[in-house]
Amino acid sequence: MKKILIIVFSDLRSDARVRRQIQALHNEFDVTVVCFNADPDPKHKLFIIKPTPLTLMRKVVTSFFLFFGFFRTAWSLLHGYRQVVEHFSQSRIDLIIANDIEALPLAFAIQPEGKVLFDAHEYAPRHFEDKLMWRIFFQRFNIWMCRTFIPRVAAMMTVGKGLAREYEKNFGKLPHVITNANNYVNVAPRPTGSTVRIIHHGIATRSRNLELMIAVMDLLDDRFTLDLMLLTPGFASASTRGYIDELRGKAKHNPRIHFVEPVKSSEVVEKIRGYDVGMFLLPPINFNYANTLPNKLFDFIQARLAIAIGPSPEMAEIVNEYHNGVVAEDFTADSLARALNALTAEKIDRMKKNSGRAAENLNAEKNAEEIRKIVRGVIA
């Protein structure tokens, strides 16, 4: 059995995309995963590493090397997991899958001439381009990693067509598009009642401007309610952790807005099946937001919900193709509220039925077939 090493600098328990990689490959390949944390699973072996402790001194020193362009040294300070190199460099590995750009240098440190498949979850050179400090310290760093290592990879994957085109344009490698689609769920849509229940779930990141969806609710008629199922990542700063409290304060005037406890990513589809509409309004403040094609869209589809979004091109393409939701004219609360207020229960039920049609085509099982095809091709 061919051996595959998957590297991801995240907690596997909250990384649905990498879990689906494992799900696609474990029956055919011997899979080992390097990650920060994970639940034990007989489908794969685990090699757990601890995130680099970013002490004040390490931050200062790393910032110096980043600012003055000593990028290899900066990467070693941030991600120099020598124990991984020492453990795997003498092992027979047929393929390394590196998730996100920061994992690529480690993959090639383990096997300088080995076969590497790069899965770009974001467009790395413009990841947080809306933030000045990120542009000062990390943008050139990410560009360096892309220029240095992408030409050496055997193949690439990414989450959407916009990101794929940008990688090809700037780095000469066209990625395969593997969406963030969830597993297929064979369920019937819930009939829409007199109350239209809207759900939004996801990370509570300030840059996503979640206040907009609270503003949408202030413009909707009394049929609509909104539940916010918000996650705060474990590594979040105190400021980020306080963001949910700020949102609660901004929503307290509206009794139709509620905050509900989050669940594991593997439980989301089952949890949200009781709703009618999945909502996500994300202004395109950076390149990745403008080209977003997120997990939650596919969660909404598998839960057989109608969808309410802004005019994000790749999400809108799916909604317009399957007629399973509404797309606002712009990214304002007023525009999305107008689209939602125009819906009847009958229209929402038709959209839910169309989400069932979309679910048959947009799912992890079909993506898994493509992942196995890519991996077999690289190894062969």
The position carrying tokens 């085509």 is 361
Q: What strand order describes the sheet that includes 95-99?
A: 45-48, 30-35, 3-8, 95-99, 116-120, 155-158, 176-177
Per domain, the residue ranges of the chain are: 3-179+364-379, 196-361
pTM as predicted = 0.93
Task: Tell me the fold of 196-361.
Answer: Rossmann fold (3.40.50)
Residues 6+ apart with CB under 8 A from 303: 185, 187, 269, 272, 273, 275, 278, 355
- Angle of helix 140-149 relative to helix 71-79, nearest 10 degrees, comes to 100
Which residue from 213, 323, 231, 229 is spatially nearest to 279, judged by alpha carbons? 213
Q: What is the 3-state secondary structure (H, E, C) of the chain?
A: CCEEEEEECCEHHHCHHHHHHHHHHCCCCEEEEEECECCCCCCCEEEECCCCCCCHHHHHHHHHHHHCCCHHHHHHHHHCCHHHHHHHCCCCCCEEEEECHHHHHHHHHHCCCCCEEEEECCCHHHCCCCCHHHHHHHHHHHHHHHHHHHHHCCEEEECCHHHHHHHHHHHCCCCEECCCCCCCCCCCCCCCCCCEEEEEEEECCHHHCCHHHHHHHHHCCCCEEEEEEEECCCCCCHHHHCHHHHHHHHHCCCCCEEECCCCCHHHHHHHHCCCCEEEECCCCCCHHHHCCCCHHHHHHHHCCCEEEECCCHHHHHHHHHHCCEEECCCCCHHHHHHHHHCCCHHHHHHHHHHHHHHHHHCCHHHHHHHHHHHHHHHHC
Q: Cα separation of 193 and 64, whole Å?
A: 59
pLDDT of residue 242: 85
pLDDT of residue 154: 98
pLDDT in tens, the chain (380 residues): 999 999 999 999 889 999 999 999 999 999 999 999 999 899 899 999 999 998 999 999 999 999 999 999 999 999 989 999 999 998 999 999 999 999 999 999 999 999 999 999 999 999 999 999 999 999 999 999 999 999 999 999 999 999 999 999 999 999 999 999 999 999 999 999 999 999 999 989 889 999 999 999 999 999 999 999 998 655 445 666 789 999 999 999 999 999 999 988 889 999 999 999 999 999 999 999 999 999 999 999 999 999 999 999 999 999 999 999 999 999 999 999 999 999 999 999 999 999 999 999 999 999 999 999 999 999 99
For the domain spanning 3-179+364-379, the CATH number is: 3.40.50.2000
CB atoms within 10 A of CB 160: 22
The two domains 3-179+364-379 and 196-361 share their CATH topology (first three levels equal): yes
